[in-house]
Amino acid sequence: MRRIWVLAVLVAGLLVATGPAHAENVLSNGGFETGSLSGWSCSGGSVVSSPVRTGSHALAGGVTSGDNAKCTQTVNVKPGTAYTLSAWVRGNYVYLGVTGGSSTWTPSAASYTKLTLSFTTAADQTSAQVFLHGWYGAGAYHADDVELDGPGGDPQPGVPGRPGTPRATTVTDDSVALTWTAATGTVTGYRVYEGSGVKATVTGANATLPGLAACSTHTYAVAAYNDAGESPRSEPLTVTTTGCTDGGLPKHALIGYLHASFANGSGYVRMADVPPAWDIINLAFGEPTSPTSGDIRFAPCPASECPNVESEADLTAAIRAKQAQGKKVLISIGGQNGQVRLTTAAARDAFVRSVSSIIDRYGLDGLDVDFEGHSLSLDPGDTDFRNPTTPVVVNLISALKTLKARYGARFVLTMAPETFFVQVGHQFYGGSGGGDPRTGAYLPVIHAMRDALTVLHVQDYNSGPVMGLDGQYHQMGGADFHIAMTDMVKAGFPVANTGHTFPGLRPEQIAFGLPAAVSAGNGHTPPAQVHQALNCLVKGQQCGSYTLRGGPSPALRGLMTWSINWDRYYGWEFMNSHEPFLNALP
C-alpha cells in the first residue's frame, strides 16, 4: 500500500520466458514409505522408522570401515532437460549426486538438512543414476524425502503406463475419496503419494484417505506398479477437506485500508465515520522500530498531522461498535515504509509479542500482512516454495503460525502482496538465481499458511505487465488484468524453472485489490471494467478472449481497495459502485 499519490512501477519490461515442462518426482520410493528399499540398490543399509523427517520411514545407510553404504536408483530422463535433485540427510559425511555428474555433500548434520543440486541432461541422455552414500568409518547416515524433479522419460519395458489424474469423489471434514483412470499394461496395484510419502496402496483405481484435519489442503498423485517397477506419477490433484470457517464474513466482502497512523492528501477518517458497507477494515500501519527488530509499533495519527483524530478511547469504542455490526478490524503490518525483515529467531519472537500486544490493546480481529519493498526476498538456492530455507521467510511463517495458534479459529489473517511477489513467480523465482531475489517471495508464506489464510488480496496495481496462464502479458487498469491475475491464484501455476507447481487457493480465500481512485495508485480501473472482471471470475461470463483455467468461482470473496480515505475523498465512488454489485452476485 502507498502513502503517496503516484508510485513508481515495481515491475516493468519483464523478459519473455517459456514455462517449464511438467515436473514431478521421477524417483520411486523417494520417502522409503514402502517400508523397504524397493526401487533402490544399496551396498549396505535398511529402512528404519526412526529418525524420520516425514512419513513413517527413512533410509539408514549402514556405513562400515570398508563400505560407504552407497544407494543408487536409475531412472529414465529426457535429453537436454533441466532437473533438480534433493534429499534431506543427517549424519557425518553424507553425499548426494548423479553418477558421472554433479554432487554435493555435508560434513556433519546433527538433524535433517537439505542437500540440493541442479543439472541438465546431455543431448542424447535417456537415463540417469542418482546416488547417496556416507564415508568409510564415519558412522551411519540417514536420508528421507529424496526427490528428482523434472519430466519423466519413457518407462522401462514392462512398467505400467501413467495413471490418469485423480479426481475427488467425496470430500468430508476428515477424509478424501479419490478415483482415477486405470494405467495401461500389467498393474499389480497403485500407490497414492502426497509429496514423497505413500499415503495408500490399493489394487483398484480408487482410494480413500482418512484421518485428515478439517480444512486442510493436500496434493495427491498416483503411480501404478508391478514387478518390473513403478510408473511415472499422474498429474497432481490438490483438494481441501471441508470444515473451513469463514471468520464470520459475508459471502462477498468489501475490504479497505484506513489511514489510521498518518496523514496524507486524502485526509483523516475517524473509525466511527467509516460507512457500514466495509466488511474488513485494515488499520494502516503497524511499523517496526527498525527493519530487523521485529518490534512492531502502532499509534493513532498525532493531532499535529490529523487535527480531527479521535482519542484512543474513542478509537477503541468505535472498533467495538464495528465488531458489533459483524465487521472485522485488523492491524496491517508493513506498507510502503514499514520494512520488516525477521532475520533472527529473536526478531521473530519480538514480532509475535508486539503484534499480540497491539491486537490485545485494541481488541482486534487479526492481522493483515502487507510486506513490501525488501521485506521478503529469497536466498540463492532457495528454490522450493514448499520447503523454504531463507530466514526472513521461515521466521515469518513461524510467527504467523504462532499467532494463529494463540488466537484460534476466530483469528482473521489476510495478505496484500504485490503481483511482483506472487504472479511474477510464474516466470521468475528469486531463489533460483538470475534475477531479483524478491520475485515470487510471498509464495512460501501463502503456501505454508493456506489452511489458516482468510483472504489473499493481491494488489492488482502499481505493477508492470505480468504473464498469465495463457502465455500472454496482461496490463493493469482493465478487466483483463484482474481476470488473468486472479485466475492464477485460483488455478495455481508452475513456479518459474523450479519444477514445482503452486496449488491454487480456495475461492473464498481470494479477492483482488484496486486503487479507490486515480490519486491512490497506478492501475485505477473504471467500475464497469471491475464488474466485467467479477462477472467473469464468479459467473464465467464476459471473459472476452480469456479462458478461465480455474473455472468460475461463485464463492470468490470480493474486493479490496487502497484506501477508505481516498474513497471518501472522491465521494465514495468505489464503495457506492461495488458494494451493491458484490451483494447482487450469486
Residues 539-551 have a mean pLDDT of 95
| CB-based contact 77:121 (threshold 8 Å) | yes
Q: Are residues 434 and 458 in the same domain?
A: yes
SS3 assignment, position 204:
coil
What pLDDT band is residue 1 in, cutting at 50, 70 and 90?
low
Residue 354 above 60 pLDDT?
Answer: yes
| CA 416 distance to own-chain centroid | 13
Higher pLDDT, 19 or 473: 473
Alpha-carbon distance of 488 to 550, in angstroms, equals: 8
Per residue in 166-196, pLDDT tens?
A: 999 999 999 999 999 999 999 999 999 987 7
Domain count, the chain: 3
| CA 12 distance to own-chain centroid | 23
Q: Are residues 431 and 519 in the same domain?
A: yes
Residue 170 lies in a domain: yes
Quote the pLDDT of residue 80. 86
Q: Are residues 477 and 392 in the same domain?
A: yes
Residue 26 lies in a domain: no
| CB-based contact 413:452 (threshold 8 Å) | yes
Q: In this structure, what CATH number is given to the domain that contains residue 190?
A: 2.60.40.10
Q: Are residues 332 and 279 in the same domain?
A: yes
From 24, 149, 8, 15, select the one nearest 424 (Cα to Cα): 15
Quote the pLDDT of residue 9. 34
Q: What is the largest CA-CA distance in the chain?
A: 81
| CB-based contact 240:506 (threshold 8 Å) | yes
177, with CB counted inside 10 A (0-12, 13-18, 19+), is middle
Residue 46 lies in a domain: yes
Q: In this structure, what CATH number is given to the domain that contains residue 367?
A: 3.20.20.80
Quote the pLDDT of residue 3. 44
Quote the pLDDT of residue 536. 98
Range of the domain at 73: 41-149
Q: Are residues 200 and 348 in the same domain?
A: no
- Order of strands across the sheet with 206-209? 167-171, 176-179, 206-209
194 included as an active-site residue: no
What pLDDT band is residue 434 in, cutting at 50, 70 and 90?
low
How do strand 41-42 and strand 71-76 relate by DSSP bridges? antiparallel
Residue 373 above 70 pLDDT?
Answer: yes
Per residue in 218-230, pLDDT tens?
A: 999 999 999 888 8
Residue 66 above 60 pLDDT?
Answer: yes
Where among 149, 176, 196 does a domain terminate? Answer: 149
Q: Are residues 319 and 420 in the same domain?
A: yes
Residues 537-565 have a mean pLDDT of 96
Provide the mean pLDDT of the chain: 91
Q: What angle do CA 301, 307, 311 make, to 5 degrees?
A: 60
Residue 21 above 50 pLDDT?
Answer: no
Q: In this structure, what CATH number is given to the domain that contains residue 138?
A: 2.60.120.260
Residue 154 above 90 pLDDT?
Answer: no
Residue 315 lies in a domain: yes
Alpha-carbon distance of 124 to 121, in angstroms, equals: 8
Per residue in 100-116, pLDDT tens?
A: 988 999 998 899 999 99
Residue 408 lies in a domain: yes
Alpha-carbon distance of 337 to 2, in angstroms, equals: 8
Where among 115, 149, 183 does a domain terminate? Answer: 149
User: For the residues of 431-470, what is the DSSP string, one character each?
Assistant: GGSSS-TTTTTTHHHHHHTTTT--EEEEE-SS---EE-TT
Alpha-carbon distance of 157 to 143, in angstroms, equals: 29
C-alpha cell at 157: 519395458
Per residue in 130-147, pLDDT tens?
A: 999 999 999 999 999 999
Quote the pLDDT of residue 361. 97
Per residue in 466-498, pLDDT tens?
A: 999 999 999 999 999 999 999 999 999 999 988
Q: Are residues 119 and 179 in the same domain?
A: no
Per residue in 508-527, pLDDT tens?
A: 999 999 999 999 999 999 99
Quote the pLDDT of residue 38. 86
Residues 394-400 have a mean pLDDT of 98
Other CB atoms within 10 A of residue 547 CB: 11
Q: pTM above the 0.85 mark?
A: no
Residues 379-389 have a mean pLDDT of 92
From 508, 538, 525, 535, select the one nearest 460 (Cα to Cα): 525
Residue 36 lies in a domain: no
Q: Are residues 99 and 171 in the same domain?
A: no
C-alpha cell at 420: 511482483
| CB-based contact 451:457 (threshold 8 Å) | no
What pLDDT band is residue 504 in, cutting at 50, 70 and 90?
very high
Alpha-carbon distance of 208 to 178, in angstroms, equals: 6
Residues 145-159 have a mean pLDDT of 82
372, 418, 508, 579: the catalytic one is: 372
Quote the pLDDT of residue 248. 85
Where among 89, 122, 149 does a domain terminate? Answer: 149
Residue 19 above 60 pLDDT?
Answer: no
108, with CB counted inside 10 A (0-12, 13-18, 19+), is exposed
Residue 77 above 70 pLDDT?
Answer: yes
What pLDDT band is residue 370 in, cutting at 50, 70 and 90?
very high
Percent of the chain past pLDDT 70, that is, above it, reads: 95
Q: Are residues 289 and 144 in the same domain?
A: no
What pLDDT band is residue 11 in, cutting at 50, 70 and 90?
very low
Other CB atoms within 10 A of residue 8 CB: 9
Question: String of b and e for 19-55 (b: at least 16 CB within 10 Å)?
Answer: ebeebbbbbbbbbbbbeebebbebebbebbeeebbbb
Residue 4 lies in a domain: no
Quote the pLDDT of residue 24. 66
Q: Are residues 506 and 575 in the same domain?
A: yes
Q: Are residues 373 and 280 in the same domain?
A: yes
Q: Are residues 186 and 319 in the same domain?
A: no
Alpha-carbon distance of 365 to 370, in angstroms, equals: 16
Looking at the chain, the number of H-run helices and the number of E-run strands are 8, 30
SS3 assignment, position 354:
helix
Q: What angle do CA 571, 576, 579 make, to 5 degrees?
A: 145
Say what the alpha-carbon torsion angle 146, 151, 153, 156 is, to the nearest 10 degrees: 40
Quote the pLDDT of residue 68. 93
Residue 25 lies in a domain: no
Residue 338 above 90 pLDDT?
Answer: no
Other CB atoms within 10 A of residue 561 CB: 26
Alpha-carbon distance of 431 to 444, in angstroms, equals: 11
Say what the alpha-carbon torsion angle 74, 76, 78, 84 is, to the nearest 10 degrees: -40
Percent of the chain past pLDDT 90, that is, above it, reads: 77
Alpha-carbon distance of 147 to 140, in angstroms, equals: 21
Residue 244 above 90 pLDDT?
Answer: no
